[in-house]
Structure 1
């Protein structure tokens, strides 16, 4: 329920005495209508107009998830589609934090932060220049974020005018006015009145929306003020778990971007400040400002039991994207539609832990909403919905052992997905991500691991180990630093102190070497510098910036006798790139790209019979201003009665609000099918169906089938 007005009235008791009784006028947004005499049990949760009153303290002892205490705040403002706090100028880009006007030539506008207890005021006054007939004047607030359908929106604001004005049109619909989701009229007086307009968006989300308050009915010289404007999805306004900042008690149901949906008892706190004595029994993890990156860890050493979560050992072909995952460490794999296999552990491990419950978590996104099915040991472990944004998902299952088979996880999806940062741990709840490489240290001990600004590698296989006696050793024991500052490497054959270096009992001093020997001892290496990215304005505009780039190789402490550049082909072979100099000029149409977006190059310099190498990666990036989307329409509906008849599916490609289907060749539209019969789907998908249109009949549908269209923008 939304409160539209409040007040106090006088009510006489049985003896005729008058008493003040507060009341409110509410608008029912969801649920059953109230009945006369019914007692209400409710709590104020948020304000759509005042950020200072946007929260509440909620204690529950009788709710289904009780007992708990919540501090909720920002449900009415944090996810606003439009919450202006300043005034936009003419021709300024759309901004959800600025009041936007239309008809600047015929009106004057000013902004006031607060006046008479009302905040965020946009003052609009018509000037003496008459506007042409049909010209829209007033507020024209375009939404930056897309609006789904059907989806209910709340439009909240206060308004007043210099004189009483009736029937001012208010509408929300397409920017082009081609379709209107909702419209109404409001009456203004010289006093502030609160307006709440509820609109249900019925049209496709790829079209941008705009709120318009048309003031062309105002007389010349009159003014109108719009204040505390807020446009919000109703689902966001009532999503209290998302607005929960603190919960103490039973934390079941709280959704966190790092851990997902929480369960059990405890305390959920966004910010924690402690002083004096702080005692921890368990795990302490630190990341970046968003909680990701796993830069600091103190706790159980062997937590993530999945081997090589950084690189991900897929048995099926994948492509590695040149971007950082949301965890800030590791690689992102692009998995095409179909089934993929991820190797995670040995058969001996699966046999030892068979029947035990493990939680598998991972970050995933898709080019279009789809479901990902996860299986292990021949049984489905779970199905998770994947969207176009990065989200962490998890499933819980019992480990199954298959004779002669290593422990692997099977993924199946109808759409291509991006996958990264998997974690397999005991229990039923995912904890903060712990990276692993090819080496796992199976121990029940606790320890510390540092990544940035500390000691690299992973917690189970660190580059440098911190030992109980105060010494530091390398991962293979070849390098040792003792607590007193002395040390050795190469198994003790080379030792040092503060002033000397001992080699098999012989003391070596740097000043004893001649110039030739000192040069021979200097470290030698090569490096590659230069730009590493070709930028494209849009996926459909094949013009790169820059037109070419030059890579420069540097040789430290030596001059090579021979040089060569190579590139890594799609077949994983190193092939000659054609240059024998310290520079390599690269163009977007260089044959080594082989249709890929990433190109790995290697420079090799030879000196005195030894090769020194360095590698670098060059990428192509597409910086399109608008997001691409695909929607499918049918000419005869989506139901075939008794398997008889046919219908034609037509794919449309939108770039923002512009349709660009005609710009894409027919051969770049690929149709896929997913139904309850995977074997039949495999046979249907094996025969590739290309083109913008697809005609299907009863033979193509067994009870129910979902058809998707993949559009390739870059060839």
Structure 2
């Protein structure tokens, strides 16, 4: 037993509904052990080992610790530390087994939230993990203040609530004190929980302390209206801090808002009765047992790690969320940095010929595809709007397929559609698979083996069931997509390694840069018309305009700056205009009309000249520049300015005309929303969901909830879009193309082919 003794298990109090009746076990160190008990109440502990035949695994939460006085080997009474653990998952501890537990995180103490996990026996072993934040980063409820998102009171008229960060070794304390006000409704603590898939189990952990002993305090988890409960039980509170742990199985679907409620109506009956609750936390049990999402560092086999940018990782290596290195850093392979959104490269050091798809910036399809005047998710290139039907994308030619026959390649792209739409990808006569376009930009990919057919290049056919927007295609070796690498009409087919910069450096594309970095240290333009030599000399226009450190030679004429008079020097000075000012209107919520700031002042600066005429224009939704009405160097922009035209992004241009010069500059201002409110859409039918023999009709109506508040009437009719999905895909496409809008939808037998599912998408912006 490795100097730990199992003193026996006991069942928790039998409780109703879906409360998990977990067993408890008291485990202590042997009295002569040299080990020390380092566990504390609220620690999540785990043991896992293989005895040669079976793997023993237990996941427990420490509910109590203490010390017993027991007889040692020589009959002398010795102290033996123990802990009591609630078994949430795995094998019950038994005598004769190893009882060494390691702490993974803590449900109560922030300073004990991390751990090191080294394994050679797990499915993806071997690896070393640095785990942190299992119980905090992904917590369903972790209040750290009073108000929305923190501790929330029910029946505030009857309670005076205060918040204390720490007291008596307990953190995040909410104190509820009964006031003298008469109040007939229920009151207590009421915490909103996010939508939860079912079935799954949540773990509720907290400490309580009352001003006088209280018994039978109801705890309820279920729908906010109290109609149905996932689980309910009671607990007691004494005059000193006590720890409580409950595990509840979620059985109800996420149809309505779900709440955790502590009803104090029958307990706080006297004026100044008080209950303190601290360290409240609600977390999924699966997040405590599967800690891959909490891995901040992994060294070894990184298979299974899910990164928000790269997705699920594979193979061996090291994964760090932050990496600092000094002295020497050596890289053999590819070094890539993503932009702030993580979609594309901002600098790249590695193999030059990565994306082998010609002109991914243009995203050219053989059939006509409309170019949208929007910025793609990668930040560079075109967005093509594909109509319903087939669209062919030419990726490579016959010579290329002959050279790469039998090799594995991955094709990826970003797609978006007004309603969920299927995209079928075909290569020749081989189906590559079906991907789904949703209402938000998503990157999709398929992998395949290149086959060569004489006289045919590599062309991928996209068959769209409805209108779809496509951007930034990429074709690369392997089975997984990497960060997007833009290409134009020129591909540099080479196995060499090099460097490319797109921001604050040297632009163009990776394979055909605007400025090339050559091996001899020179920098030249793509067509060789501009060269800077390693010694600082250079030329323009193929040598017609040359310079050294002291002179400029123009076709045999030496030009010296000091030879120009002041007027000529002024004429040669670089002239430009620039726009400065804020670029964002901020909204706390999509339905909140108040923007911060209320207005934005844009200021244009003219460098080395004074304009004789000035003008501000805006880019309309049709793609044309229109007069914005400004004629000075400043422009006042408001959120309700007519140029927005219902959009969230507005581009403005300032033009300045001076003596023999004309300059302009543009800037973009956007509207951004916090998006913190939890919105839910529920669909109801007035005459049921069955049409007998295809006869009769029923009316569906959509109800929009923001948390527990109904906001349906605050949203315009045209922002409700109904879609249908049935056993008739062609009929669905025609039905959806008609665009059924409004808060209600009346359907009859003609709208239903045996069975149909109707969804309602609500646009808040």
The alignment's TM-score, normalised by the length of structure 2, stands at 0.73
Contact 2:190 2:259 in 1 (8 A): no
Deviation at 1:634, TM superposition (A): 3.3
Deviation track 1:59-87 (CA, whole Å, cap 9, x = no partner) reads 444544344444433222221133245x5
- DSSP 3-state at the match of 1:295: strand
1:169 is aligned to 218
2:36 is aligned to none
2:312 is aligned to 261
Distance between the aligned counterparts of 1:637 and 1:122, measured in 2?
Answer: 47
Contact 2:580 2:602 in 1 (8 A): yes
2:425 is aligned to 375
Counting only pairs closer than 5 Å after superposition, residues 190-209 of structure 1 correspond to structure 2 as 190=239, 192-199=241-248, 200=250, 202=252, 204=254, 207=257, 209=259
- The correspondence for 1:330, drawn from 371, 380, 401, is 380
- DSSP 3-state at the match of 1:456: coil
Deviation track 1:436-485 (CA, whole Å, cap 9, x = no partner) reads 45544332110122344433343323332221111222233222221111
Deviation track 1:314-336 (CA, whole Å, cap 9, x = no partner) reads 763464556x94x6x43795979
1:238 is aligned to 289
- DSSP 3-state at the match of 2:353: coil
Distance between the aligned counterparts of 1:319 and 1:629, measured in 2?
Answer: 31
1:465 is aligned to 516
- Structure 2 residue 96 is matched with structure 1 residue 26: no
Please identify, of 645-654 and 334-343, the stretch whose mean Cα deviation from structure 2 is larger. Answer: 334-343
- DSSP 3-state at the match of 1:517: helix
Counting only pairs closer than 5 Å after superposition, residues 426-445 of structure 1 correspond to structure 2 as 426-437=477-488, 439-445=490-496
Contact 1:161 1:188 in 2 (8 A): yes
Contact 1:350 1:407 in 2 (8 A): no
Inter-CA distance 401–517: structure 2 relative to 1 (3 Å threshold): farther
Please identify, of 501-510 and 371-380, the stretch whose mean Cα deviation from structure 2 is larger. Answer: 371-380
Counting only pairs closer than 5 Å after superposition, residues 100-249 of structure 1 correspond to structure 2 as 103=156, 107=160, 109=162, 111=164, 113=166, 115=168, 118-120=169-171, 122=173, 124=175, 126=177, 129-134=179-184, 138-142=188-192, 147=196, 152-161=201-210, 163-173=212-222, 181-190=230-239, 192-199=241-248, 200=250, 202=252, 204=254, 207=257, 209-212=259-262, 214=264, 217-218=267-268, 223-249=274-300
Deviation at 1:162, TM superposition (A): 5.0
- Structure 2 residue 561 is matched with structure 1 residue 510: yes
Inter-CA distance 635–602: structure 2 relative to 1 (3 Å threshold): same
- DSSP 3-state at the match of 1:252: coil
- Structure 2 residue 462 is matched with structure 1 residue 410: yes
Inter-CA distance 54–658: structure 2 relative to 1 (3 Å threshold): same
Distance between the aligned counterparts of 2:305 and 2:272, measured in 1?
Answer: 53
- The correspondence for 1:94, drawn from 123, 134, 148, is 148
Distance between the aligned counterparts of 2:597 and 2:448, measured in 1?
Answer: 50
Deviation at 1:301, TM superposition (A): 1.1
Unaligned runs of 5+ in 2: 1-58
Deviation at 1:186, TM superposition (A): 0.4
Contact 2:492 2:511 in 1 (8 A): yes
Inter-CA distance 375–55: structure 2 relative to 1 (3 Å threshold): same
- DSSP 3-state at the match of 1:183: strand
- DSSP 3-state at the match of 1:282: coil
Distance between the aligned counterparts of 2:476 and 2:394, measured in 1?
Answer: 12
Please identify, of 40-49 and 265-274, the stretch whose mean Cα deviation from structure 2 is larger. Answer: 40-49
Distance between the aligned counterparts of 1:576 and 1:220, measured in 2?
Answer: 68
Deviation track 1:399-445 (CA, whole Å, cap 9, x = no partner) reads 5789888745637577988x766543210123344444554433211
Counting only pairs closer than 5 Å after superposition, residues 350-429 of structure 1 correspond to structure 2 as 351-352=401-402, 353=404, 356-361=407-412, 370=420, 373=423, 375-377=425-427, 380-383=431-434, 394-398=445-449, 407-408=459-460, 410=462, 412=464, 423-429=474-480
Inter-CA distance 112–516: structure 2 relative to 1 (3 Å threshold): closer
Counting only pairs closer than 5 Å after superposition, residues 552-563 of structure 1 correspond to structure 2 as 556-558=607-609
2:140 is aligned to 81
- DSSP 3-state at the match of 1:242: helix
Deviation at 1:508, TM superposition (A): 0.7
Contact 1:558 1:607 in 2 (8 A): yes
Deviation at 1:494, TM superposition (A): 1.4
Distance between the aligned counterparts of 1:540 and 1:108, measured in 2?
Answer: 29
Inter-CA distance 535–197: structure 2 relative to 1 (3 Å threshold): closer
Deviation at 1:395, TM superposition (A): 3.2
Contact 2:361 2:382 in 1 (8 A): no
1:660 is aligned to 711
Counting only pairs closer than 5 Å after superposition, residues 623-638 of structure 1 correspond to structure 2 as 626=677, 628-635=679-686
Distance between the aligned counterparts of 1:243 and 1:46, measured in 2?
Answer: 10
- DSSP 3-state at the match of 1:683: helix
Counting only pairs closer than 5 Å after superposition, residues 447-526 of structure 1 correspond to structure 2 as 447-526=498-577
Inter-CA distance 365–580: structure 2 relative to 1 (3 Å threshold): closer
Deviation at 1:136, TM superposition (A): 5.2
Aligned residues: 694
1:47 is aligned to 106
Distance between the aligned counterparts of 2:723 and 2:528, measured in 1?
Answer: 54
Deviation at 1:17, TM superposition (A): 14
Deviation at 1:241, TM superposition (A): 1.7
Counting only pairs closer than 5 Å after superposition, residues 35-74 of structure 1 correspond to structure 2 as 45-74=104-133
Deviation track 1:180-232 (CA, whole Å, cap 9, x = no partner) reads 55432101235544322234273646637454352762466665443322112
Unaligned runs of 5+ in 1: none
Deviation at 1:242, TM superposition (A): 0.9
Deviation track 1:294-319 (CA, whole Å, cap 9, x = no partner) reads 33322111213345556755763464
Deviation at 1:18, TM superposition (A): 12
Distance between the aligned counterparts of 1:406 and 1:609, measured in 2?
Answer: 52
Contact 1:479 1:490 in 2 (8 A): yes
